[in-house]
Each structure stands twice: as structure tokens, then as C-alpha cells.
Structure 1
Amino acid sequence: MTDTPRSAGSVLSAVSWGYGGAAVSVVLQLGYTAWTARVAPHSAFGAYAIALSVTQVPGLIATAGLTTCVLRAEQLSRSLFRAALRLSLLTGVCCWAVVEVAAPWCAALWEMPELTLFLRLLSCQYLVAPTGCVLLAALRRIGLPGYATVAELTGQVAGCVVAAVVLAHTGSPAALALALPVAAFATFGLSAGASVAKLVLARDSGTPPGSLLGLSGFLTGFALLRTLGASAPLWMAGRLLGPSAAGLWSRAQLLSDVPVNVLIKGLNQAAVPLLANRRNQGLPLTRPAQHLLYAASAGFVVFGALAGAGPAVLALLLGPGWEGAVALVPAFAVGAALQVVYAAGCALDLARGTHRDLILTQLVLLAVTGVGLVGAVGSREPLPFIAAGAAGLAVGHAVQLVRWRRTDTLDAGAVVRAHLTHLAAGVCLAAAGSWGDSALGGLSGATLAMSPVLLSCWLLRGRLPAYRAAAGIGLLGRPGRRAKKPVTVPVSRP
């Protein structure tokens, strides 16, 4: 079998729109963060962070894995699309009602009275967000990522603007919780309009509701386990250390969450449909799976740079009074790099249909995280809680690698070597940036100290597995040249 220029071009289009939109989103979020950090108190960010993590749980039930179902569909038919829309509307309304009722109980549990209002405002997004996610996934599935990206970006801009205006005029920290609901309604309106104009779906005899419910139910359950593992450290730290510590946690984590969400979202949107198509056509997954893990492994380089320059960036963004958050940035950068490779492994296992392995790996992650959190009880600092989450991700990914090696899914040894290569580059960037920040002073010093390492990485880019993988599938070439001289690469069957 061969990989054609057309398939590479479609991946390039998806990746370009995904990462192009994400780049704009990053700038928007960083600017919004810098402004709100100077207006709202630390404790408000702590309650807001807890509210966000709590609402993720019903949010997963609201979307019910339907986005992935649509992206992985062998054929996006009318019956499948309508079934997904109806289910998303039903689950969204139910989750909104549950959060509205449970908000006071959550406020009592964390001893944060302001949590009630935060939760009730954030829950309003579920009236339309699940349906909007299905619409965006449908646009991407039929090859229109541009419309989906524009709708998402416009919604984010609307949400940030409305929240900022209300916060400036009222001074109420509750305005922070307006950004997501406003963004959800704006995105839904735009995606619905684009879907009506652009979606042309094939008729069929009807999608069995049981099959859609079965897959979406599994995805929802797995996502709940993922959220539990990711949120448990923050929940425990917020409960034991208080809202101010949770506020420092949320601002430090935001700096790593922005790139980690960009990387995971971009990889999923480009890789999941490609892997699903290859599996449906009976093509081997070995080569694209290897490339997916190489791309995720490059996160060690990205987050190494974040660990080096991130403290100076965060100090500049947030201003004085956030020194406690600045000190946590390197720890969150380590966890973010592990999160990217683990998430890529989950995407691969999902595309292969190895559901049992997914659940078992996540249970191992939860067990390791839980042991770490028990050991962190009694600590008055957030760092041990952060380390517990990172340890769970590291062990979880190690379990994935061992299983892939045993099943000949891919060359696990090559993936480990890629991790070590990218990790070495990331450690060098982190060390140089940290030294430059302290010895030369601030962001300019960190950047200057990192420059020789970055130059070395560029000169030696041919030795970086992620770069070689991108070049191998034609993502670094010019479309015109690929069309004239298509390169066919043999793919070995697993």
C-alpha cells in the first residue's frame, strides 16, 4: 500500500487550519489572561479553576463522545448526523439541570460560597455546546476544517470580549464565568449556519441507535476516567490548601494548558480521521501510528522551552503578586509533555478499537495518581500534588509502550528513542532558559540563553524523529512539487 499526495494534502489542510486557528486562540487567551490577572483577585481564580474542573465532568456526559463518533464515522450519513444532534441536545439539557441543582453542594464541599454562581453560569454552555461540537465535527469530517475553525475562533473572541467588558464595568469576579457560555452560543450559531449551507449528507437506511449509544457510552466513560485522573490533584489541593493556592495553580497551569490543548486537539483532528479511514479500508496502521507518536514526542522539546522561558513569560503576563504561580511553571511543563504523549497513545488505541486496553491503562494511571496524592496529604505546597499527576501519566504511557511492543502495533523501541532524543533537547532548553532568566534577567535573558540550543536543534533537525516523520509524509514539502513528483512510500504490514 502507498500514501498518496492527496492523503498527505488532506492531512496538511487539517493540520494547517487546526494549528493556524490554535495560534490565534493562544494569542487571544494569553492577552485575556494578562488582563484579568490584574483585575480579579487570586481567590476568584481559585474558585473559577475548581468550577471549570467540576463542570468538565457533566460536560463529558453532555458531549457523550459524539464528536469522536462523527470524526470516526466510515460514512457521515443523515441518520447518523441527526441521531448525534438529538442525543447531544438531550444530554446537554440534562447536564445543565444537574449542575444547576448540585452547585450549592459543591460550594459547601470545597468551602467556597462563590462557587455556586460560577457553576451555574458555566453550566449554561451545555444548552448548546454539545450540539455545536457535533456540528463542528461534521464540518471537519467532510473536509471543511476552515469553517469549523472560523466558528470556534469567533466564539472565543465573543466570549472573551463580553467577559472582559462585564468585569470592567461591574468588578465582579463572576464575569470570568461568562466567557465559555457566550463562546458556546456564538460558536453554535455560526456552525449551525455553516452546516445548513455546506453539509450534503448521503441518505441511508438509518443508523442503529444502539451502535451509536454503545460507542458514545464507552467514550464518555473513558473520558470521565481521564478527567478524574487529570482533575483529582487540583481538587485535593484546592480542598486542603484553599482557594488562593488553587488560584496560583490555575494561573500556572494555564500557561501549559494552552499549548497542550493545541497539540492534543491538532493531533486528534488530523490523526483520528486518517487512522479511522485507513482502518475502514483495511490498510495497516503501523506507519501513521509511528508518525503520530513521533509528533507527540516533539512535545518534550516544546515544553522544555516552556520550562525554561515560561516563568519569565508568566511573570510578565500576570504582573506582581503571582510569584507563587511562576515557580510552578516548570513542574506543569513536565506534566504537559507527558500528557501529550499519553493522549496520543489513547488516540491510537481508540482508532485500533482496543477498548479494553484503554480502560486498563487508565485504571493504572488512576492508581498511581491516587497513591501519589495520598503521599502528598499533609504538604502545604502544591508541588507534590502536581508530581502525583505527572507520575500517573508517565506510568500510564509506559504501560502503553509495553503493550504495543508485545502486540507489534509499532516499533516501541523507536518511539522510546524518539522520546529520549526530544527529551534531551527539551532538558537543554529548560536548563538554558532557567539560567538565562536568573543570570541575565527576565524573558530577554532566557530567550538569549536558549538561542544557541534552538539554533543547534534547527541545524540538527534531520536527527529529530518528529521532523523526519513530517518530511516523510510530505508535510514539509510544497504542494505543487508533491503534485509533480509524487513519492510513494512502502508501508509494512504489522
Structure 2
Amino acid sequence: MLSWSYGGAAVAVVLQLGYTAWTARVAPHSAFGAYAIALTVTQLPGLIATAGLATCVLRAERLSRALLRSALRLSMLTGVACWVVVEVAAPWCAVLWDMPELTVLLRLLGCQYLVAPTGCVLLAALRRAGLPGYATVAELTGQVAGCVVAAVVLTRTGSPAALGLALPVAAFITFGISVSGSAAKLVLARDSGAPSGSLLGLSGFLTGFALLRTLGASAPLWVAGRLLGPGTAGLWSRAQMLSDVPVNILLRGLNQAAVPLLADRRSQGLPLTRPAQHLLYAASAGFVAFGALAGAGPAALTLLLGPGWEGAVALVPAFAAWAALQVVYAAGCSLDLARGARRDLIRAQLVLLVVTGVGLIGAVGWREPLPFIVTGVAGLAVGHVAQLVRWHRTDTLDAGGVGRAHLTHFAAGAILAVAGNWGDRALGGLPGAVLAMSPVLLGGLLLRGRLPAYQAAAEIGLLRRPGRRVKQSATVPVPRP
């Protein structure tokens, strides 16, 4: 499952970057600002539309007909309801942000909820049933179709509203493929009970929590877009895109691989301590990856978007730090969800919201986007510290070990970021940044055994050569990757 998740992720990254590079040269800056606001606004009803049902299916101890039937019915009802809400509220949102183009973009994006929630449930069922390959192909096919249709319409009409076509087209194509695949490949256990009530209760909690997560993540952009205008929001969206594409794929891969594994172990009565430690170590490696992005990202974004996007390029390092913290915080949320610690989930998120809110109040007087980005970084950092403190108090895992892993990976990422930025300025462009980071990467390769993420990967067998046997300790359970 992990190989399919990240294999599909690599293809999706290439697709998204290519699509972004092309549209950045065709659509104006202000169009991307309105599109960024529209995306974050439609996330709110989208969370209600999916209602956490895909996560419920992924973490189910037993995938049955009654469970899937209930999830599909709820997803259809919530999806249609949210489509209606988006269509009605679109003009009001355009007035609130003083962006007339928001109306058309929101109504186009809202059409995805007619099928997207049901498609997500079917894809989750395919993955839970051990068919991640089919689910990945369905998602990638939809994404390719969406990007192609949006690009063709944008070329022929020149209307920035074409940006709003990619997601709805992708949702309909993915839905069609997932329906045919589910009918042909899913073999479900028969049962008499209809778990609609319990499913609705869990999905309701997940939806509420996801709304809080989205509020914390989107509030800085909403405030900056309202105070600084669509042009600034457009620069924000293009800079954040460079980190958002890999971070969303990393989060999806971790969730799709880790949540079923932890659910299986919990249903079998096996301890979660070691798998939880491995999950956090893997997420912590994001500090290294996004440190490299902070170093080479400005030069890469300049090459990707072309001239006229210098304001976006300057924001890349800040968004790289935001992305790394998103990965570790989200991994912590997945862990708390898998162990059923709902109160811990809410506590950490409330801490995040309070810190972000206070930061936004302090950033209101600034006329540049960087202070608003810093509020998001601070909220995630303090929220994750709250998670670590709670894990330490409940003996969930070795919180000190996770903290040391964060510091080790952060130090490696910071060195990469400094080297890359120096190379960009002194040696010139992306080749200079990569050349300056090369000695650091070589040193990291030679010293990889000291990195906690590498140690965890070796322990669970991800680095084992095919056909080679590895002795396992009798006292430390080794989960399947």
C-alpha cells in the first residue's frame, strides 16, 4: 500500500507542477488570488460533504456491506446538500472578499460535491480491501482529465474561471472509475446490522475536527486576502503551491498507510507504541525534505512560474517551514485518532487556534503577507508541542525521542536551506542552489544511520533487500510496512 501511495504521489506531483507552470503564464495574478480563496472556502462544505466517512471506512476493523452501504448513503446526502449551500452562498462570498470573480469559481468548484464524497468512500473501500493500485489509478486518471480540460478551456476562452473546472472534472472521472472498480473487485462480508448510527456519530466528530483544522489552516490566507487584496492572495497561493503539492501527497500517503495499520493492530489487541514511534519519525523526516525545498525552492519557483512572480518566490522558505510542521502535526492527529483519544485531538487543535488567532490580531497592521504566514507556523508548532506533552503524560510513546528526532531532522533541513539560498545568490539560480546543497546531501547520505527516520525504516524492514532475512527481536513487535 505504501508503494502505491507514494508511486501515485510522484506522478501527481509532476502533473501538478506542469499544470501550474503553464497556467501561471496564461492567467493573471489576481485570478490565482480569487481561485485560492475559492478553494479554501469550498473546503468547509467539502468537509461536511465527506463527513469523515472515508476515514471511517479506512480505519474500520471489518469492512462489511452494511458499513459501506451506510457510508455511501450518507455521502450522497451530504454531498448534494453541500452543493446547494455553495451555489447559494457564492455571491455573498464574492461581496465579503470584494472579489466578483469568486461567484463563478465557487459555483464551478461546488459541482464536485455531487459525486466527490461518494467517490472518496469507494476509493477508501478499495484501499481497505487491499486494492490500493486500482484506487491510485482512478485518482490519477481523474486528475489528468481535470487538468487537460481546464487547460483547453483556458486556452480557448482566456477566462480565469476555467481554473475552477479541474477539480469537478477530476471528481466525476474518478467517481466513474471507482464505481466500476468497486462493483467488480470488492468482496464484502454479509452482516445483518446497519451501523448508520455509530458511523454517523464517528463521522460527525471527524467532520467537526476537520472543520477546526481547516479554520486554523485557512484563517491566515482569508485575513491576508481580505486586507491585502487578490494580488497578494495570488502571490500567496503560488508560493504555497510549491509546498502544498508535496505536503498534501505526503499526508495522504501517511494517512492511507498508517491508519489501516494502526487500526489492524488495535483490533488485534497489539501495542501501538512502536508503530506510533515509527510514524512520528517518518513524519519528522519532513524537516529535511522541506529544508531542501526552502533552499532550492525559490530558484525552482522562479524557473517554474517565469517572470513577474518575485513576490511569491520570497515567501517559499516560510511556506516550507509551515509544510514541515503540517506533516508532523497531522501525523500526531492520525495517531490520536487511531488510539481513540478524541479529547487529545480537540485540546491540541484548540491550542493551535488560539495561537493562530492571537498572531493574526498582531499581524493586522502589516502590509505584507509574511507576518500572516508566521502566525500559521507558530500555531502548528505550539499545537504539536501540546501533542508531545500529552503523549508524554499518557506514556503513548517516547515523546523525548520524538523531540530529539525533530531537532536532528530540523538541523539537517536548516543546513540544507542555508546552503541552497547561498548557492542561489552566489552561484546563480537552481543549478547553483543544487550544487551548494550537494556536499550537505552527501554528508547526510554518509551519516544516514544517525537519522531517526532512517533507523525506523531499517527497523520495520523498508530497507531490507528482497530475499534477505532480518532477525527480529522477540521483545519489539515489528509492524508490516
Equivalent residue, structure 1, for 2:88: 101
Name which of 333, 345, 354 aligns with 2:341. Answer: 354
Superimposed CA distance per residue, residues 340-359 of structure 1 (whole angstroms, 9 cap, x where no aligned partner):
00000000000010001101
Question: How far apart are residue 490 of structure 1 and its match?
Answer: 2.6
Equivalent residue, structure 1, for 2:472: 487
Equivalent residue, structure 2, for 1:396: 383
- Which consecutive residues of structure 2, in runs of 5 or more, have no partner in the other structure? none
In structure 1, C-alpha distance between the alignment counterparts of 2:141 and 2:195, rounded to whole Å: 35
Deviating above 2 A after TM superposition, structure 1's stretches of 4 or more consecutive aligned residues are 478-482, 485-493
- Which consecutive residues of structure 1, in runs of 5 or more, have no partner in the other structure? 1-13
In structure 2, C-alpha distance between the alignment counterparts of 1:61 and 1:267, rounded to whole Å: 22
8 Å contact kept, 1:245–1:382: yes
Name which of 385, 408, 414 aligns with 2:372. Answer: 385
Confirm or deny that 1:113 pairs with 2:97: no
Confirm or deny that 1:308 pairs with 2:308: no
Distance 1:488 1:82, change over 3 A: farther
Superposition pairs of residues 138-157 of structure 1, within 5 angstroms: 138-157=125-144
Equivalent residue, structure 1, for 2:5: 18
In structure 2, C-alpha distance between the alignment counterparts of 1:146 and 1:208, rounded to whole Å: 28
Equivalent residue, structure 1, for 2:398: 411
8 Å contact kept, 1:471–1:477: yes
Equivalent residue, structure 1, for 2:174: 187
Q: 3-state DSSP class of the match of 2:188?
A: coil
In structure 2, C-alpha distance between the alignment counterparts of 1:478 and 1:192, rounded to whole Å: 37
Q: 3-state DSSP class of the match of 2:467?
A: helix
Name which of 186, 193, 198 aligns with 1:206. Answer: 193
Name which of 130, 135, 141 aligns with 2:122. Answer: 135
Equivalent residue, structure 2, for 1:453: 440
Q: 3-state DSSP class of the match of 2:396?
A: coil
Confirm or deny that 1:280 pairs with 2:260: no
In structure 1, C-alpha distance between the alignment counterparts of 2:341 and 2:407, rounded to whole Å: 27
Superposition pairs of residues 230-249 of structure 1, within 5 angstroms: 230-249=217-236
8 Å contact kept, 1:284–1:491: no
8 Å contact kept, 1:286–1:492: no
Q: 3-state DSSP class of the match of 1:474?
A: coil
Q: 3-state DSSP class of the match of 1:215?
A: helix
Name which of 423, 436, 442 aligns with 1:436. Answer: 423
Name which of 31, 49, 57 aligns with 2:36. Answer: 49
- Higher RCO (CA 8 Å, separation ≥ 6 residues): 1
Question: How far apart are residue 477 of structure 1 and its match?
Answer: 1.2
Superimposed CA distance per residue, residues 278-334 of structure 1 (whole angstroms, 9 cap, x where no aligned partner):
111110000000000000000000000000000000000000000000000000001
In the alignment of these two chains, the number of paired residues is 478
8 Å contact kept, 1:253–1:332: yes
Q: What TM-score does the superposition give when structure 2 sets the normalisation length?
A: 0.98
Superimposed CA distance per residue, residues 183-233 of structure 1 (whole angstroms, 9 cap, x where no aligned partner):
000000111111111000000112332100000000000000000000000
Q: 3-state DSSP class of the match of 1:205?
A: coil
Equivalent residue, structure 2, for 1:370: 357
Q: What TM-score does the superposition give when structure 1 sets the normalisation length?
A: 0.96
Equivalent residue, structure 2, for 1:196: 183
Equivalent residue, structure 2, for 1:5: none
Equivalent residue, structure 2, for 1:9: none
Identity %: 83
Matched to 1:135, the amino acid is L
Confirm or deny that 1:226 pairs with 2:213: yes
Matched to 1:66, the amino acid is L
Question: How far apart are residue 492 of structure 1 and its match?
Answer: 7.3
In structure 2, C-alpha distance between the alignment counterparts of 1:132 and 1:431, rounded to whole Å: 43
Q: 3-state DSSP class of the match of 1:283?
A: coil
Q: 3-state DSSP class of the match of 1:176?
A: helix
8 Å contact kept, 1:368–1:392: yes
